[in-house]
Amino acid sequence: MESDSQLENLRSVLSCVFEKLGAESLTEPDRIELVARAEVMQDRIDAIQDAVGDEEHAPTRTTPVPEPAGDRLF
């Protein structure tokens, strides 16, 4: 699925952002920017997961089965 690959890409980016946030030599402006990027990535991940969840829980359309005509054979 396309959404699966998007989720993997976004999670990979988010992981890199968190890794950079752990760096000791990070300046405050860089930290603020990375936190903002992490929030954007998490929002995108949540949106994709919500969309996928909505598709999975959406009612499926079924063709109604006609009522039997009684005991008649023809």
SS (H, E, C) 37-50: HHHHHHHHHHHHHH
Instruction: Give mean pLDDT, residues 41-61.
Output: 76
**pTM exceeds 0.75 for this model:** no
31 has pLDDT over 80: yes
Instruction: Give mean pLDDT, residues 15-31.
Output: 86
Q: 7 CB contacts (<8 Å, ≥6 apart)?
A: 45, 48, 49
Confidence of residue 65 (pLDDT cuts 50, 70, 90): very low
- Helix extents (H) in the chain: 2-21, 28-57
Q: What's residue 74's pLDDT?
A: 44
- For the range 35-40, what are the long-range contacts, defined as Cβ-Cβ under 8 Å and sequence gap of 24 or more? 37/13, 38/14
Confidence of residue 55 (pLDDT cuts 50, 70, 90): low
